Amino acid sequence: LIIPQLSKLGFEISFSELMLGKYIRIDVTVYTGEKKLTAGVVIWISQDKLQYIAQDTSWVDIGTAAKVNTSRHLWHTTKLVIDAENECYSRWLFDSQEINMEGIPVQSTTDNTAPYIEYQIRGYSGGMLTQRLYVDNFIFTQNEP
């Protein structure tokens, strides 16, 4: 995605799992033309916790995950909002749980790559297990409230 302007940016997906996995990780990288901003969150299914990636690249616990059901007919929704202009997280929603992350800095490094946004979704099952992770309704919003 090309960035028309820096603002609060929202990244929302719905997902469904067929088998219980270890975690689902979402990473957002925003290249501004001058900086590279990196934000990320993990839904730890196997450990019942939520984490975000801190400015120093460590993973920080921020909440307790709601139950992630494993059925092709049950969907979960998660939304991460970052304030690209101020280089910080804003909030994270997981199903009915909303976590205020206002002012928590994202990773920021000097980078002159042309402006664009990169978004990654990863599901990890662990061991030699093969699972299906269905992702639907990817929604990108600019100028989030």
Please check whether residue 107 lies inside any domain of the structure.
Answer: yes
pLDDT, tens only, 94-124: 888 889 999 999 999 999 999 989 999 988 8
Please check whether residue 85 lies inside any domain of the structure.
Answer: yes
Q: Do strands 88-94 and 76-83 pair parallel, antiparallel, or not at all (unpaired)?
A: antiparallel
Please check whether residue 141 lies inside any domain of the structure.
Answer: no
Q: Which residues contact 111 (CB under 8 A, 6 or more apart)?
A: 31, 34, 35, 36
State the amino acid at position 113 in one-letter form: T
First to last CA, the chain: 20
Please check whether residue 54 lies inside any domain of the structure.
Answer: yes
Q: Which domain holds residue 98?
A: 8-123
- Distances 3 to 41, 80, 82, 138, 142 between C-alpha atoms, Å: 21, 17, 14, 17, 9
Q: 1 pLDDT exceeds 60?
A: no
Please check whether residue 73 lies inside any domain of the structure.
Answer: yes
Please check whether residue 22 lies inside any domain of the structure.
Answer: yes
Q: 76 pLDDT exceeds 90?
A: no
What average pLDDT score do residues 121-145 get? 80
Q: The CATH number of the domain where 51 resides is what?
A: 2.60.120
Please check whether residue 16 lies inside any domain of the structure.
Answer: yes
Q: 40 pLDDT exceeds 80?
A: yes
**Model-level pTM?**
0.87
- Counting the structural domains of the chain, the total is 1
